[in-house]
């Protein structure tokens, strides 16, 4: 999955793609419920793109020219793998 994500985000420069410690949450909710809740919570942040594969979904939200917000949804775990404000973390956590 990480390889696929790297290919999809190849436009991001190496300097902008510095490693960030993921913020992870445990969940007992099903994938459709998580996708709906998280996308609703983050709707106002920018253009959202879902990249789906069996068992997981990557939500990428891009606002402007900066690095996109990446949320990996793979029940029983949700991970924010890019820099995120405390507000974004709280919004995602509400969906768990």
Domain that holds residue 79: 22-94
Give pLDDT tens digits for 27-73: 999 999 999 999 999 999 998 999 999 989 999 998 778 889 999 99
The CB density around residue 31, as the number of other CB atoms within 10 Å, is: 15
Q: What is the CATH number of the domain that holds 56?
A: 3.30.310
Residue 79 inside a domain? The answer is yes
Helical ranges in the chain per DSSP H:
2-8, 31-42, 86-94
Domains held by the chain: number: 1
Helices and strands of the chain, counted as H and E runs: 3, 5
**Nearest to 95, CA basis, from 18, 20, 42, 16:** 42
User: What pTM did the predictor assign?
Assistant: 0.79
Residue 60 inside a domain? The answer is yes
pLDDT at 2: 53
pLDDT at 55: 87
Give pLDDT tens digits for 9-28: 554 444 345 578 999 999 99
């Amino acid at each position: 999955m990480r390889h696929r994500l790297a290919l999809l985000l190849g436009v991001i420069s190496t300097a902008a793609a510095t490693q960030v410690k993921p913020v992870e949450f445990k969940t007992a909710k099903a994938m459709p419920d998580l996708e709906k809740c998280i996308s609703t919570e983050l709707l106002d942040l920018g253009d959202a793109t879902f990249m789906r594969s069996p068992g997981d979904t990557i939500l990428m939200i891009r606002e402007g020219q900066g690095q996109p917000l990446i949320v990996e949804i793979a029940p029983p775990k949700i991970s924010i793998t890019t820099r995120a404000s405390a507000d974004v973390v709280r919004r995602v956590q509400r969906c768990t």
